[in-house]
Structure 1
């Protein structure tokens, strides 16, 4: 389903520095943008909005549509191919696609296997994708962690317990998948951060918190991570509530280095938004006071 702004709501794209500063780089009352990816040249962010893909030139502050064919309306699960020439996308039909980042014809990767497929990670060599599988399209069932060759083929299960999981993303060396999971608790919706080897071994919790923690994203150099912190008791990753974007060292997940309060949630930080030099990352806010100006 394509998301839209509420009456009186605006969309703000921000960048955050690892030293704690933040900068508003784009603001619109016309379209709800989500889930920024940073291009490998450091010049632009790639976001989805109105079911399409958009490029935000950071120097000019200009937003232009990436012209794609052969894809349905897009959701907020998209990651760049490590070679910088392409992008992997999730469509609202529940399938995963690859398309040229400059625009063009998309190619479907996943088969009609009865499941919905929600992309989140690509291996450093571009050869494999990590995604969440919703069996029979039934969201009452826990999401399953799976990987698949980026050229398509049979998927492989990665066992991470019985609870719902989401946001699987490869580390820069490809030896870990980072994710959020409800497998450590019986409290409904209490997602916590974890990691696992791609073969399903060494499944381990990274953080034991009272909040609901989603979408861990490691910096390209592996030293830092961002994630999204929802209030205790939250179920899923809903939109339009007070959340916090959190920055931590990967040596100490329990001690935030910086936090940024945001009105948002869904769309704010669904996919990795790190700059290639590991100095900045991007996120999106959706304040309801659109008349205040920038």
Structure 2
């Protein structure tokens, strides 16, 4: 009998140990120590702020073996992992926090990662084969010392790219390494080590995302749209929250006037959802059931403008914000709505006319009359994303000239005094003005995208700049593009925005 009791107790202890070694937390399925450190590590997750507090000890993440605490998932194939990292206190200069991919839980396994050190140094480091010493890219650029860093680890086949950025700046590549002995399915996650076996270090991690990208030649129309996350973000502290996700397509959130709901496009219709998350509710748009991601709310909060394929292509309509049968504004396609005037009567949109494959900006009253052409583009020019400022003094838009990159512009409501606002190497789209008129939020694509395009499923940035002038700063790094920030998604208090990010479901 005593043997049976002992056996049962051992089974229970083994089950508890097994549970402790997997113990999911946040987006991570596993929460473990690697290398049997003298002091155990741990992690907690604040659901409200979606922030991790991770603690770990261990003699080092270096040499021929590692000791650290590890939050990880098993991931097959390519991935892009991004997060914000910050240590607590100013202790051991060689302590490390960051992203790591490794071949197994063995302490001497193949591994690669991007790490923030205790003295603020950020670097890519790796163990190329099992049991060999760690290496780092002496010939590459190491990020300058700072105690708060954004780190990204990307896998493309067997090539691992580490990028890093100071807050507000674009990510920069700090190391690239091909690891031939990394299996197709690897452990990927967040790691912390103290470099002092008698000390437990602590760090905060937030905005943690692991995205599985598509192939460069991926065609969503034939292969299906990948998963989406609906996110909100405080634009001033950069904290992001996922409030809804789905394994298929949805796009373009608006913030509703009362501030308690979002409105977004899905399956040709519009849905509302509470800002804190929950179940989407379909909005009644009458006979309009082929909506795209161009929808906007009038300044007085009473009317909803939409772009709907009425069988003859996309046209502009409007209806009460609470729902109803839409009324046509345009009858010539293609016409894509982007903004209301503060008078709550005029709308601005981009359109092609007279069979010419060139988009220009037009405005028209919802009460009827002729449309007014505000730009006169040539074949090497393109415009999109037109939107009024709250004071009605300007129409903001994105445009390219002479085949150059897409930049932000503004003009007077009659089309005069066109003024370029951004001048960098990125392709900048969809300027959205905050309700208080002080800020412009927009999406930036890499210079390598196709001319005048804003494709889906790319590494992109969301950026913020003052309407009064000044350099843009990065407020979010994500995998997305078309559908991420097509419409004005500012909260009524001008402190938050909403957007959509993308990732395939992990196998």
Alignment of 1:200 with 2:415, yes or no, is yes
Give ranges in structure 1 of 5+ residues lacking alignment: none
Matched, 1:220 2:440: no
Task: Find the counterpart in structure 2 of residue 25 from structure 1.
Answer: 243
- What are the equivalent positions in structure 2 for 1:78-157 lying under 5 Å apart? 78-92=295-309, 93-112=313-332, 115-136=333-354, 141-157=357-373
What's 1:76 paired with? 293
**What corresponds to 1:209 in structure 2?**
424
1:232 matched residue in structure 2: 447
**Cα 1:73/1:273, change in 2 over 3 Å:** same
TM-score calculated relative to the size of structure 1:
0.89
Contact 2:232–2:240 (CA<8 Å) still a contact in 1? yes
**Counterpart check, 1:186 vs 2:437:** no
TM-superposed CA distance for 1:65, in Å, is 0.7
TM-aligned CA deviation for residue 60 of structure 1: 4.7
Moved over 4 A (4+): 3-8
> Aligned partners of 1:54, 1:130: CA distance in 2, in Å?
23
With structure 2 as the length reference, what TM-score do the two structures score? 0.53
Deviates more, 1:242-251 or 1:268-277: 242-251
* Cα separation, 2, equivalents of 1:27 and 1:126: 33
Q: Distance in 1 between matches of 2:355 and 2:291?
A: 17
For residues 354 and 221 of structure 2, what CA distance do their matches in structure 1 show?
Answer: 27
1:252 to 469, 479, 504: 469
1:255-294 equivalences in 2 (<5 Å): 255-256=472-473, 258-288=474-504, 290-291=505-506
Deviation at 1:108, TM superposition (A): 1.2
Q: Give the number of aligned pairs.
A: 280
What stretches of structure 2 of length at least 5 have no aligned partner? Answer: 1-219
- C-alpha contact (below 8 Å) 2:314/2:334 kept by paired residues: yes
In the alignment, is the contact (CA less than 8 A) between 1:70 and 1:107 conserved in 2?
Answer: no
Deviations 1:162-208 (A, max 9, x none): 3110000000101100000012x433xx2110000011111010010
What secondary structure is seen at the aligned counterpart in 1 of 2:468? coil
Query: Counterparts of 1:1-40 in structure 2 under 5 Å?
Result: 9-19=226-236, 20-29=238-247, 31-40=248-257
- Alpha carbon RMSD of aligned pairs, Å? 2.0
CA–CA distance in structure 2, aligned partners of residues 36 and 108 of structure 1: 23
Aligned to 2:487, the other structure's residue is in SS state coil
- Secondary structure of 1:90's counterpart equals strand
In 1, Cα distance between the equivalents of 2:353 and 2:448?
25
